[in-house]
Amino acid sequence: MQTDTDTLTAPDLTWRENALCAQAGPEFFFPAPGSSTREAKQLCGACEGRLACLDYALRHDERFGVWGGLSEKERGRLKRQSR
């Protein structure tokens, strides 16, 4: 008999190992309200894990900061468009 736990797999978080944001301070990716996110987005643009990072943020409903090159507002817009 197969149970739900038999089919569950751990999420692939290997993209975090090479995350470029790990080299920057948290204030860089979680700027104060009204602050620019441009530099964080530029770093995301060079990050090889960008799409996996964005997918993670969308799946986990991350509300704050820049993830996968998108701000919280941009992720919210993307989610609404995909419904």
Binding-site residues for [4Fe-4S] cluster, in ranges, read 21, 44, 47, 53
CB 68 within 8 A of CB 54: yes
Kindly tell me which residue out of 37, 68, 70, 75 binds ligand SF4, with binding defined by CB under 6 A.
68
Under the binding rule (CB under 6 A), the answer on residue 75 touching ligand SF4 is no
Under the binding rule (CB under 6 A), the answer on residue 29 touching ligand SF4 is yes
Region from 3-11, 31-39, 61-69, 71-79 binding ligand SF4, contact rule CB under 6 A:
61-69
Phi, psi of 64, rounded to the nearest 5 degrees:
-120, 150
In angstroms, the Cα distances linking 62 to 4, 46, 79 are 25, 21, 12
